Structure 1
């Protein structure tokens, strides 16, 4: 089994709000990967005493544990339980009904000798390579399909589309959001390798148009996760006229996990 992981904050003076893990059960059979991208709130009060990094580490830790220890549960059930566990940990001290209560995008994959299960919620990505080299991008593209007007400001997005019917969903404090995730099960024989990436790394495809998903997967396989992040950072620094970045932050937290299960 080959596993590689790299994660880098967008700003070295701020905590990395991404989370990544790869776990193997004590039995040595199968495994799981978890990648989260914590959603940075706008400045001001967001009803919680805890940081997004705290939330991502708590949720990521719960997902890692539960996906390995409760293999009889589906991945949506795992996500639901993990969200509830973290919500219970700060419900008495924080306003979990606030639209910007700490939250994160989710990629979760779990494999056994027979199957590979996957779950994707919001705009991180899971790439799957077949034994013949074909690469499939498993995405939750609801955010990309929204009218730009609904995302014009944080206030408009929070009021109209964030974790709302007809909008897009992230893992926050409501366990029922797990049913909104993109999920599926693949035969284990159809999967040679997996790559999970937060949107700070998928910028290579989605913002800078350096290649398509198979090209990005090939780069991860050949040069490793850190090389992908390094290339994205170079592209960000070179875009001084903000032709590609436009209104986006110059650097974002970026995480890449590669697994050959």
Structure 2
């Protein structure tokens, strides 16, 4: 089994707000993959004493532990339990009802001898390669369908679409959001490889149009996860002045890639 994991901050002076984990039992018959992309809040009050990095580390740890130790739970149940566990850590000190309370996108996959389960919430991506080489992108595209005018940098405007019906959803403090995730299950025999990416890495496809999802998967398989992040960094730097591809987006974003052959 080949596995790779890279998670690189967009700014070396700031904590990486992504989280990634691979849990692989010694038997080699199963495993768990977790990737989170913390949502960087605008400057100002977010009702919380803790950083997005703090939140993602704890949510990611809870997701990993529950996925491994509670195989009887469905992945939505795992996510719900992990959100609740994390919320309890700061409920008495922070305003968890604030629309900008720390939150994250989620990719979660768990496989056994029989099946591969997956869960995707918000705009991180999970690529699934079949034994015949066909690549399927498992996505939650609700953020992409929100009118761009609604995604203002103003927190009040953003609150009208974040974790709201008709908008998009992230893992914050409400366990009920787990029911909003894109989920599914595939036969183990139908999956050869999984690649999970935060949107800092999917820029290769979604912003810079270097290729489609199959091309991105092929790049990672041939060149490696670190090479993909390196290529994205080069494209971001080249676009720094022109902003032809990134628009209002920050030049560099935290970027995470996890590759796992099953």
TM normalised by structure 1 equals: 0.98
- Tell me the residue number matched to 1:248: 249
Please say if 1:88 is aligned against 2:98: no
Please say if 1:136 is aligned against 2:110: no
- Tell me the residue number matched to 1:40: 40
Deviation sequence 1:176-202 (CA, Å, 0-9, x none): 000000000001000000000000000
Cα distance in 2, alignment partners of residues 91 and 26 from structure 1:
37
Q: How many residues align?
A: 261
1:148 is displaced (CA, Å) by: 1.5
5+ residue gaps, structure 1, are none
1:146 is displaced (CA, Å) by: 1.0
Cα distance in 2, alignment partners of residues 82 and 237 from structure 1:
37
- Tell me the residue number matched to 1:154: 154
Cα distance in 1, alignment partners of residues 151 and 49 from structure 2:
26
Cα distance in 1, alignment partners of residues 110 and 32 from structure 2:
4
Correspondence 1:10-29 to 2 at 5 A: 10-25=10-25, 28-29=28-29
1:149 is displaced (CA, Å) by: 1.7
Cα distance in 1, alignment partners of residues 112 and 152 from structure 2:
43
Contact kept? 1:150, 1:156, Cα under 8 Å: no
Correspondence 1:87-106 to 2 at 5 A: 87-106=87-106
The DSSP-based 3-state class of the residue aligned with 1:118 is strand
Cα distance in 2, alignment partners of residues 247 and 225 from structure 1:
26
The DSSP-based 3-state class of the residue aligned with 2:120 is strand
1:155 is displaced (CA, Å) by: 2.5
1:226 is displaced (CA, Å) by: 0.5
Correspondence 1:112-123 to 2 at 5 A: 112-123=112-123
- Tell me the residue number matched to 2:181: 181
- Tell me the residue number matched to 1:231: 231
5+ residue gaps, structure 2, are none
- Tell me the residue number matched to 1:197: 197
Aligned Cα RMSD in Å? Answer: 1.0
Structure 1 ranges of 4+ moved more than 6 A: none
- Tell me the residue number matched to 1:171: 171
